[in-house]
Chains A and B, each alone.
Chain A
Amino acid sequence: MRMDRRKFITKTTLSSLATLIGTEIVFGTNMLHDYQPVALQDPDPFKLFKKDSEMVILNDKPWNIEAKAHLLDDKITPNKYMFIRNNGLIPETIDVKNWTLVIDGESVVHQKKYTLSDLKSTFKHHTYQLTLECGGNGRSEFNPPAKGNQWTIGAVSCATWTGVRLRDVLEDAGIKDSAVYIGYHSADTHLSRDPKKEPISRGAPMIKALQDETLLAFKMNGKDIPLAHGYPLRLVAGGWPASVSGKWVERISIRNKVHDGAKMSGTAYRVPCNSIAPGTIVSDKEMCIIESMPVKSLITFPKSGAIIHTKDTLKIRGHAWAGELEVSKMETSIDFGAAWQKCSLEKPANRLAWQHFSANIQFPKKGYYEVWARATDTNNKTQPMVLPGWNPKGYLNNACHRIAIKVT
């Protein structure tokens, strides 16, 4: 009988464990199934991260990769078109068997530690489709230029995430009345490789932490989360800057003050509390933390540059989202905003998921056109056609998306 070595070891370890504890281990084969450590060695980043070859690499240390508008056409974003944002270095090995999540902090009642299987077996599972957009999406358009990775429009995704509610876990450990904020701590490595430094340790106020849709996720689109997106455990807080959704989470602290981890202070993920003229230098104490992302939309079909004939009807489609809110109206213009036509707009799959829109557009005569798209949220805020308020780090650019069309 042929038996491969790993299976043999698994079985012998299992049987000796069973002897030790005197009972059969239910799902033991699953438990001891070796996870293949993911070594970041493939020189081709598209293969390494299983990304489509049309994705754009902004930075390779740390890895930052974005999509293009037409790649985001799927209603649920698949991994191959999902942007990658990193502040530090992706963990090189993940010991999934010994992975634990610690809940601690000044405002925890009992400090607790959970294994992944504890989390999966103790708490109810929930699945939501959640929009994650990088706070700096659109940074490349700001003038004067803003510092950081020059994202154009592709740092947004809307996948389905499955996990347990952060609220259920926090409540299991106990939340003191003094709780103000949660802060995450992760397994990634600082660019300087200084083990005392965290590349990023952000969080959210309790009101966001306790929302139904705020998850400790272990699946993305029904499968294990890809390594670059936070395997094996990721915080997911839809509608807020995606940096709130910490990857490779090992510890969550319930804080009695606003979390003060890396990238919570200074100009990081903050905008001036009061609006300023472009290029103004702002002191750190005049900067406020970004919470909900603003209303925004993308035309995902057709790809910019389409040539059509005069009698053709152009069918366009795309997605719109509004941070904590819902999109109430979607419009397009073919004359640079002089007139707007309403699109048909679907309800979101669940709160904090992007919404799909579509429209049929006819062009009066030959020529060069731009189709501009504009979403309005339930607070009646609309996307600006020009750049919104300048800020030192170039966050929150929700200016209208547009595509070029030639009618011949």
Chain B
Amino acid sequence: MSTDKEFQKKLRKAEKLAYFAGFLFLIAGVGVVFLLIDPNFIRFQSKQKNSITTSVELDEDRIENGIHIRTGLIDAKGLMTVVTNCTNCHSAKLVTQNRMSAERWNATIKWMQETQNLWELGSNQKIIVEYLVANYPQKEKGRREHLININWYELEN
């Protein structure tokens, strides 16, 4: 009985070894084939590089249909200066909601510098204000606008 068991154990060991050897051989084979086709592993390197750059573009500063996806800001001259200076403390939604003249944007920047810890913008201030005035212009609304964007529906009685 005991010799039988030992024999079975050895057989299982031999079996495992054979599988392992086969596995190593397969990997070596794949490696050789790969080396023959692509001796400098170019495919692998270029793939890695591509994936890094595209992931940065996709996550950070992707533009779709003229909109900077991460912030919702319009893609135009000065965009990145606005992104860098105006979206650290508050969301860009606070910027895009507002419509102001250059004078009032400048006053708002001054207020943020005096009370909200905004840094000195230097020559970037002009770029930012010009971007805002050009891309988010004021619209004359009068004393009361028409009702707009009405979604008509049948009212069940």
The binding surface of chain A is classed by DSSP as loop
Is A304 in contact with B98, judged by CB distance below 8 angstroms?
Answer: no
Q: Which residue of A has the minimal Cβ distance to B116?
A: A192
Instruction: Tell me, yes or no, whether A385 is within 8 Å of chain B by CB.
Output: yes
Q: How many angstroms from the CA of A304 to the CA of B101 in the assembled complex?
A: 33
Is B91 in contact with A147, judged by CB distance below 8 angstroms?
Answer: no
Which chain B residues (72-130) contact chain A, with CB distance < 8 Å? 89-91, 93-94, 97-101, 104, 108, 111, 115-117
The binding surface of chain B is classed by DSSP as loop
* Residues of chain A within 8 A of B108, CB atoms compared: 147
Least Cβ distance of B24 to chain A in Å?
A: 45
Is B90 in contact with A191, judged by CB distance below 8 angstroms?
Answer: yes
B residues contacting the other copy or chain, number (CB 8 A): 32
Q: How many angstroms from the CA of A305 to the CA of B148 in the assembled complex?
A: 10
Q: How many angstroms from the CA of A399 to the CA of B141 in the assembled complex?
A: 15
Is B150 in contact with A305, judged by CB distance below 8 angstroms?
Answer: yes
Instruction: Tell me, yes or no, whether A59 is within 8 Å of chain B by CB.
Output: yes
Instruction: Tell me, yes or no, whether B145 is within 8 Å of chain A by CB.
Output: yes
* Residues of chain B within 8 A of A60, CB atoms compared: 91, 93
Is B104 in contact with A147, judged by CB distance below 8 angstroms?
Answer: yes
Q: With A143-B141, A306-B153, A307-B155 known to touch, is A266 a contact of B98 (CB < 8 Å)? A: no
Per-position contact with B for A144-164: 1 when CB-CB < 8 Å, else 0?
110111100000000000000
A residues contacting the other copy or chain, number (CB 8 A): 40
Which chain A residues (138-191) contact chain B, with CB distance < 8 Å? 141-145, 147-150, 190-191
Least Cβ distance of A130 to chain B in Å?
A: 28
* Residues of chain B within 8 A of A385, CB atoms compared: 144
Partner pick for A58 among B97, B145, B155, CB 8 A cutoff: B97
Is A62 in contact with B90, judged by CB distance below 8 angstroms?
Answer: yes
* Residues of chain B within 8 A of A370, CB atoms compared: 147
* Residues of chain B within 8 A of A149, CB atoms compared: 94, 97
Q: How many angstroms from the CA of A291 to the CA of B116 in the assembled complex?
A: 25
* Residues of chain A within 8 A of B100, CB atoms compared: 145, 147
Is A145 in contact with B99, judged by CB distance below 8 angstroms?
Answer: yes
Q: How many angstroms from the CA of A385 to the CA of B142 in the assembled complex?
A: 13
Q: How many angstroms from the CA of A148 to the CA of B111 in the assembled complex?
A: 13
Q: Which residue of A has the minimal Cβ distance to B157?
A: A312
Is A59 in contact with B91, judged by CB distance below 8 angstroms?
Answer: yes
Interface residues of B (CB under 8 A from A): 89-91, 93-94, 97-101, 104, 108, 111, 115-117, 138-145, 147, 150-155, 157
Chain A to chain B contacts (Cβ below 8 Å), 29 pairs: A59-B93, A59-B97, A60-B91, A60-B93, A61-B91, A61-B93, A142-B141, A143-B141, A145-B99, A145-B139, A145-B141, A190-B116, A191-B89, A192-B117, A197-B117, A266-B111, A266-B115, A302-B155, A303-B153, A305-B151, A305-B153, A307-B152, A307-B153, A307-B154, A307-B155, A312-B157, A370-B147, A385-B144, A402-B147
Further 16 A-B residue pairs, CB within 8 A, beyond A61-B94, A307-B155, A370-B147: A57-B93, A58-B93, A58-B97, A59-B93, A62-B91, A141-B144, A142-B141, A143-B140, A143-B142, A192-B116, A194-B117, A262-B115, A304-B150, A304-B151, A307-B152, A312-B155
